Structure 1
Amino acid sequence: METITFEIENGVALPTLNRPEVLNSINTKLIAEVRAAVAEVAKNADARALVITGAGCGFCAGADLAAQEQREEGMTIGQGVALAADIVIASHSASFVQVFGPRLGLIPDLGCT
């Protein structure tokens, strides 16, 4: 895997978004690798929990707007993964920003409704 690291230890599956140079922004390669990791968790009886984290100083900046393949494939901008979970744990200094919704009247990203 190129854009994430992945391990399962003591029943916890830990995929780590690993593109810190672009604040772990999402491109098509990262999406494919996260899907593969989640599929591995689904078939692994030893994995009882899934914790997604990010390398570097930020979890995920959202879509990589500079990625050429996203423009060619029509990838959507709002791809919120931070709140699309049963439980979300964040530090006191973490912030969740709805960039596109409040001023433009768009539907909130995944997990924010």
Structure 2
Amino acid sequence: MPRTLAVLATEAGVRLITLQRPEALNALNTELLGELAAELDHAERDPDTRAVVITGSRKAFAAGADIKEMAERDLVGILNDPRVAHWQRIAAFSKPLIAAVNGFCLGGGCELAMHADILIAGEDARFGQPEINLGIMPGAGGTQRLLRAVGKSLAMQMVLTGEAIDARFAQRAGLVSEVTQPEFTVDRAIAIARVIAQKAPLAVRLAKEALLKAQDTDLASGLRFERHAFTVLAGTADRNEGIAAFQAKRRPEFTGQ
């Protein structure tokens, strides 16, 4: 059983993962990242899991990397950091991932949240990349994902000053899709996950991949991938079920085939 996470498989194909290092505001140490990567690997393989919600506490989603652990590493330790592999496994997760963010979401915590496909934030959430204050810089995708999410100017300001932004600002900038009262953040994220979990799994996976392609490729390449994915889905049983259910005015029963 994981020691730094709580994992709950809710109804309707949704898995809830809660970061649990309250003594360190959920700072991301090697153990936590390894357990999180393992849980996402398990969810990836589990056909009954169709969407995952990740959250922290009301006080902090995750306040950053574990500074104490970081201080104990020399250059050789950094070059051979096992956390790199953990981050790669987290980034490779292909099912829908929703982050429910309350409180501090800083440094590695902000980078983890940006691995999610959808971010729901409580009004008290604060997002930032304060690594510059330690004489370092973001190292788990912060410079790349933040710029793609909020644009060059704001990303530069956040990374180079280390200053955080609040939830409403993050929503206006495009980092967050919805802002809720803090007590409803997790419930709202789970509600969205339930809606997604009811859709055809293959269509959801390919739609997610196509949307992510839009960040990494030119328009022509993205359109080619979209058309290919659309054609692949045309030959699935779920496509036939979806059309039949629509015509019969009933709820579709998707199987992932």
**Same fold by TM-score greater than 0.5:** yes
2:113 to 78, 82, 86: 82
Distance in structure 2 (CA, Å) of the matches to 1:70 and 1:95: 28
Closer, same or farther: CA 105–34 of 1 in aligned 2, 3 Å: closer
- The 5 A counterparts of 1:99-110 are 99-100=130-131, 106=137, 109=142
Q: Deviations over 1:16-49 (max 9, x none)?
A: 1100110000111001100010001101111111
Pairing 1:53-64 to 2, within 5 Å after superposition: 53-55=55-57, 57-64=59-66
Cα pair distance change 1:51/1:70, threshold 3 Å: farther
Sort the Cα spacing of 1:37 and 1:92 in 2 relative to 1 into closer, same or farther, 3 A: same
3-state secondary structure, aligned to 1:52:
strand
- Structure 2: how far apart are the matches of 1:90 and 1:30? 22
Moved more, 31-40 or 3-12: 3-12
One-letter amino acid matched to 1:112: L
Letter of the 1:63 counterpart: A
- Unaligned segments of structure 2, at least 5 residues: 85-106, 148-257
Match of 2:52 in 1: 50
Per-residue CA deviation, residues 53-107 of structure 1 (Å, 9 max, x unaligned), is 113521101100112686253158x531012221111012211012136xx7956
Identity %: 35
1:27·1:70 contact (CA, 8 Å) conserved in 2? no
Question: Quick check: which one's helix share is greater?
Answer: 2
Specify the SS of the correspondent of 2:43: helix
Closer/same/farther in 2, CA of residues 90 and 56 from structure 1, 3 Å limit: closer
C-alpha contact (below 8 Å) 1:3/1:17 kept by paired residues:
yes
* Cα distance change of structure 1 residues 97 and 15 upon mapping to structure 2, 3 Å threshold: same
- How far apart in 2 are the matches of 1:70 and 1:49? 36
Q: Cα 1:69–1:17, aligned 2, differ >3 Å: closer, same or farther?
A: farther
**TM-score in terms of structure 1 length:** 0.82
Q: Does 1:112 align with 2:114?
A: no
**Runs of 4+ that moved beyond 6 A:** none
1:14-53 alignment to 2 at 5 Å?
A: 14-53=16-55
Contact 1:100/1:106 (8 A) holds in 2: yes
Rounded Cα–Cα distance in structure 1 between residues aligned with 2:72 and 2:34:
13
Match of 1:95 in 2: 126
Which has the greater radius of gyration?
Answer: 2
Higher relative contact order by CA 8 Å / sep ≥ 6: 1 or 2?
1
Aligned length, in residue pairs: 111
